[in-house]
């Protein structure tokens, strides 16, 4: 199940979420006799992530809520696929799901909980993920550029100091987007493109096509017709 779950995550990261959700659901079916709460938390979290990526938002919320219940039994556990604490990553992912359902207050509460847990844990990789997802990405999706600046600046500094290869371009890209929205164009568009190039170098990240669309919208705003393919 761990191997299948890992493969599901790879498909999710590469944008092949249809194959990812098939494997994630298979894992949950196989887990019916499992009593390991940490593993069950991970399997439900993974299924929720891929369901979200497939646009099945209500299902994603259900999976993440089940993941939270299992995580509370396990108390403290690391996601085997991501190396970050479930106590943080599950709430911040749930925050995005709730936001897409229009439950803005519940979403904000979940995001704050995930970031707080990460800070209290003093687990730096988890904190980077919480800031990138529950802070920067949460602000991007609303969109609230003012609220994106502080978590972006913190995750950039944290990633540069500790060599967090994925969280660094997330912070840089969303920071550039926020500054563009706040009136700084030109150089910020180039920085957004640089961020996309860094994602390509990593082999792709979840939501890459969405981020390309974010930059395309910025280009359209200033009347430039070119788009990144």
Residue 114 lies in a domain: no
| 222 within some domain | yes
* pLDDT digits 0-9 by tens, 115-170: 999 999 999 999 999 999 999 999 999 999 999 999 999 999 999 999 998 899 89
Domain that holds residue 153: 128-229
* pLDDT higher at 88 or 18: 88
Q: Is 149 part of any domain?
A: yes
pLDDT digits (tens, 9 = 90+) for 59-85: 999 999 999 998 888 776 777 667 889
Asked if the structure places residue 138 within a domain, the reply is yes
In-domain check, residue 40: no
Domains contained in the chain, number: 1
This prediction's pTM: 0.85
- Residue 187 falls within a domain, yes or no? yes
Please indicate, yes or no, if residue 94 is contained in any of the structural domains.
Answer: no
**Residue 7: inside a domain:** no
Q: Residue 227 pLDDT > 50, yes or no?
A: no
Token look-up 């190039």 returns 197
Mean pLDDT, range 44-67, rounded to an integer? 91
């Amino acid at each position: 199940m761990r191997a299948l779950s890992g493969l599901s995550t790879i498909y999710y990261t590469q944008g092949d979420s249809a194959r990812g959700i098939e494997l994630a659901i298979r894992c949950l079916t196989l887990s019916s006799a499992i009593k390991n709460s940490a593993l069950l938390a991970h399997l439900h979290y993974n299924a929720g992530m891929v369901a979200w990526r497939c646009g099945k938002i209500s299902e994603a919320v259900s999976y993440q809520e089940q993941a939270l219940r299992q995580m509370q039994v396990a108390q403290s556990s690391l996601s085997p696929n991501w190396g970050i604490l479930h106590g943080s990553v599950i709430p911040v992912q749930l925050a995005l799901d709730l936001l897409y359902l229009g439950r803005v207050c519940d979403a904000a509460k979940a995001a704050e909980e995930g970031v707080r847990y990460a800070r209290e844990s003093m687990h730096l990789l988890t904190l980077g993920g919480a800031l990138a997802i529950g802070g920067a990405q949460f602000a991007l999706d609303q969109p609230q550029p003012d609220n994106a600046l502080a978590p972006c600046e913190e995750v950039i500094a944290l990633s540069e100091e500790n060599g967090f290869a994925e969280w660094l371009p997330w912070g840089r890209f969303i920071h550039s987007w926020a500054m563009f929205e706040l009136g700084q164009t030109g150089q910020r568009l180039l920085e957004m493109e640089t961020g996309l190039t860094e994602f390509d170098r990593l082999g792709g990240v979840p939501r890459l096509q969405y981020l390309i669309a974010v930059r395309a919208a910025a280009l359209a705003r200033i009347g430039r017709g070119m788009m990144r393919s």
